[in-house]
Structure 1
Amino acid sequence: MNSEKETFQSKKYISKSLYYRFSQFVGFLLGARFFVAALLTFALYVSTFFLFNQEESFRNFVFDFKVHGIIFCTVLTILAGGIINQFYDLEKDHIVKPFRTRIQSFIKQKYFLYAYLGLSAISLSVAWMISHNVFLFFVVYQFFMWLYSHKLSRILILNNLTFVSLTLYPFFGMMVYYETFSKKIFLMAVFLFLFLLCIDIVKDTLTRSVDKTFGYITIPNYFKSRNTKTILICLLLITMGVSMKIITQTEVSGFMAYYFAGGLFVMIICIYLFLNSTRKSNFLTLNILRLWVFVGIIAMLLNGIEHKL
């Protein structure tokens, strides 16, 4: 009887231990923004091969270890940036993201800091082995990741501009690496910058009161709701203008042409939602815009496969 009781308690202890370890693992993934990093990695590979890499064959690309090294450093830097960002936003996240914070509580904050330092060090070490220029590129990237989390995320307008710029920074690096400069890529970069800027401002509308409480000066909590709505509509109208310019004045074709044409209707829907702005409609708009970014990555992939075949 005692033996059966001990066996039951042992199984219960193992079950609790496994649950705790699993929670720690999930907490680390959420703290490091692992799923965001995975999406950016996918986008980086797609854009690098199908947009910036105009001449290299797929075989040469696969065995171009320098490119893989740069993308590897980018992934580690993004993971490190996610960790340091959640470290500084911990109090705010308790209210805005209670479930995520609950999961992350299974890991002490000091271990997140150790992970941040470890990921940053590995990234810079690999970058140094690739070249001194790549090392400098990632030193700048990591510095502004930290500066954004520590200071810039609380400063009006700079917070949005810095966040979007840091998101696009790795893509800019690949463009410079392949020396791919053209009117089409410039306009696509402007389109994506404005699109991501809209997403970031809409996201701020959903956390307006919390941001104000914790000292984050964002466009929605500094300007009135009506002015924020006007700013977002103006940004979307400018983005539509850029989109039409891409369709009519560049050699974009195939799935990408359909993407930019379809984007016009998506942005019209978003403008309509802003005109009838509520918290629910803003949440819907945010998800529509995010989904359309993902659709853009898939469109680029399909378009690239079509042209490479």
Structure 2
Amino acid sequence: MKNPLFYRFSQLVGFLLGARIFVALLLTFALYVSTFFLFNQEESLADFVFDFRVHGIIFCTVLSILAGGIINQFYDLEKDQLTKPFRTKIQSFLKQKYFLYAYLTLLVASLLFSFLISPRVFFFFVIYQFFMWFYSHKLSKVLIVNNLTFVSLTLYPFFGMMVYYRTFSLNVFLMALFIFVILLLIDIIKDTLTKNADKMFGYSTIPNFFGNKVSRAVIIFLSLSLMLCSALIIRLNGIHSIMDIYFASGLLVIVAVIFLSLQSFKKSNFYALNMLRIWIFAGIIAMLLDGIYTQF
């Protein structure tokens, strides 16, 4: 006999995993930190706190990310059963139709709130929602386009905030390029770990289309590009802040990633992947601490 409390709890956990709530929370945190400390160059903390238009845009972004996570897991269900058996087992406590209901609810809510903010914000989220669905439906199986689209959709809300605050500078451009390259690197390394499953279910990725040697060369090229980007940021700013120290010390992390990518063991790519993920989180914390130090 099923325990009703355990069953309901399992349904809740399954839904949160299906919606990728933890990814959404991390992106929300990153969006708030980057918006206030990087893009917002004029408003004080008090003005920012009471800028309900910005909070509304971020709220719509969170709803969109949750909706995107649900529709993505709906299309990737068969592959996830092989590559993420524990997560799909938990998600099985909730029928797929409820995920679709949740997706439609989140999508409509996001578009409704965005329309209340302004027609331009509504149009911004219509494009965002469409490409998140189109990525899950078609583009995730298209060679190279899948990686570029995934990274672009991840950065799309940040680009929106940059345009909203009209924050255009060489420093911001280099930081955006740094994030783009590191996310692209993470996505390609992730593809090396799911190579066989991707091939089985028709996902055309760099590792399963070109093979290990080419994918390793791409990873090394992107790592070197990341080093160049970090060096340019250091050359532009010097080493005078926490973020400057972050980019300088990141050169060692990138060297470690290159070393790991040269190894033939699957665990090496797993370590490199998690190292880069942790380094992104460290960057968010560094930006927060740097902003607090500068402000106060």
TM-score normalised to the size of structure 2?
A: 0.99
Deviation at 1:27, TM superposition (A): 0.3
Matches within 5 A, 1:77-116: 77-116=64-103
Matches within 5 A, 1:246-285: 246-250=233-237, 253-285=240-272
Q: 1:149 aligns with which of 133, 136, 154?
A: 136
Deviation at 1:278, TM superposition (A): 1.4
Deviation at 1:252, TM superposition (A): 7.0
Distance in 2, matches of 1:227 and 1:164, equals: 20
The residue type paired with residue 41 of structure 2 is Q
Match of 1:295 in 2: 282
Deviation at 1:186, TM superposition (A): 0.3
**1:92-116 CA distance string (max 9 Å, x none):** 0110010100000011101000000
SS at match of 1:276: coil
Q: 1:199 aligns with which of 186, 201, 204?
A: 186
The residue type paired with residue 126 of structure 1 is F
Distance in 2, matches of 1:95 and 1:87, equals: 14
Q: 2:207 aligns with which of 204, 207, 220?
A: 220
Deviation at 1:249, TM superposition (A): 1.6
Distance in 1, matches of 2:56 and 2:30, equals: 16
Match of 1:65 in 2: 52
Distance in 2, matches of 1:182 and 1:83, equals: 35
Match of 1:29 in 2: 16
Distance in 1, matches of 2:104 and 2:252, equals: 44
**1:203-256 CA distance string (max 9 Å, x none):** 000000000000000001011201110110011101100110001024774110
Match of 1:234 in 2: 221
TM-score normalised to the size of structure 1?
A: 0.94
Instruction: Tell me, yes or no, if structure 1 residue 55 matches structure 2 residue 42.
Output: yes
Deviation at 1:275, TM superposition (A): 1.1
1:184–1:251: 8 Å Cα contact kept in structure 2?
A: no
Distance in 2, matches of 1:125 and 1:174, equals: 19
Structure exhibiting the larger radius of gyration computed from Cα positions: 1
1:184–1:252: 8 Å Cα contact kept in structure 2?
A: no
1:155–1:217: 8 Å Cα contact kept in structure 2?
A: yes
Q: 1:161 aligns with which of 140, 145, 148?
A: 148
Aligned length: 296
Percent same amino acid at aligned positions? 66
The residue type paired with residue 57 of structure 2 is I
SS at match of 1:180: coil
Distance in 2, matches of 1:246 and 1:142, equals: 33
2:238–2:244: 8 Å Cα contact kept in structure 1?
A: no
Distance in 2, matches of 1:270 and 1:277, equals: 13
Distance in 2, matches of 1:237 and 1:200, equals: 16
> Following superposition, which runs of at least 4 residues in structure 1 exceed 4 angstroms of deviation?
none
Distance in 1, matches of 2:15 and 2:261, equals: 36
Instruction: Tell me, yes or no, if structure 1 residue 183 matches structure 2 residue 170.
Output: yes
**1:170-202 CA distance string (max 9 Å, x none):** 000000000000000000000110000000000
Cα RMSD between the aligned structures? 1.0
Distance in 1, matches of 2:238 and 2:8, equals: 52
